[in-house]
Structure 1
């Protein structure tokens, strides 16, 4: 029974990933293009390279995913709208000079970079560790200028 469950989970982790469309009015912006073009072909998760995973059509603009049979998907989206959770009293976490808002969603975590000209979101399983968040923070810090969270 356990082997069947593991086989079913692995099957869900292969093939094109269906990414739900969400409003992303800045997805076609030069800022998003700069970030998205610099994302790596593979992420290192717990010492293992995890390749990019294709997105099912129609694929949302400015969205990239990684994952394979051994890893649940990790996604990055750029140019999305500010979530309702972002308020002047929201607790933010700074990672490598980038301010992030964490939004927990069941077993997954989503992090939203909130101090740049466009919002960039990272969604990953909660147990993935901080490596992808640190790597994305470094990339965002290089590609996008810092700005106030609430101008």
Structure 2
């Protein structure tokens, strides 16, 4: 071939090389991603931590109330069938936690009356317990806190939205069974 015809012997031109290489690289990339996805390498679901859990200190004036002790003693070791209890470190009166992702489920007993509770506050009734629901203030909440407002002590349950309603239903059953109903203290 002559240099004028542009042909070379044994060497591919850049457009031909690109036309062959790009689909081949794409096929390899798809195959690698398929293998990673099958082995769970791209699983973006967070893993629940199960080790000791350090809770932040909060005001809980009635955490040592006998009603809180009764409630905590009656709570299950595994919540909603799959969330194991976590050790609280240091031990904190009125607190229990269970492993969940992306954050644990945390129950606090003996809290002060929530400032958000008023005469027109919407309350969620779950298995006979009135809960005031508070979110984390973002458009798509990551965690919700439900405060039982119709018992002799205030109980807050903070849980990731991803855990669903099972933990709150199970806790509501225990609260309804172990703690007396009281009128909701509105101002």
Matched, 1:75 2:121: no
More helix by share: 2
TM-score with structure 1 setting the length: 0.84
CA RMSD in angstroms comes to 2.3
Gaps of 5+ in 2: 1-39
Gaps of 5+ in 1: none
Give 2:142's aligned residue.
107
Once the two structures are TM-superposed, the CA of residue 129 in structure 1 deviates from its matched residue by 1.1
- Within the candidate set 115, 126, 129, 2:164 is matched to 129
Q: Compare 30-39 and 126-135 and name the one that shifted more.
A: 126-135
Contact 1:50-1:71 at 8 Å conserved across structures: no
- Within the candidate set 59, 78, 96, 1:64 is matched to 96
Number of residues of Structure 1 aligned to a counterpart in Structure 2: 143
Q: Secondary structure of the equivalent of 1:13? A: coil
* Deviating 4+ runs (over 3 angstroms): 2-7
1:40-84 CA distance string (max 9 Å, x none): 11112xxx5221111222x3311001106x663111110011221
TM-score with structure 2 setting the length: 0.69
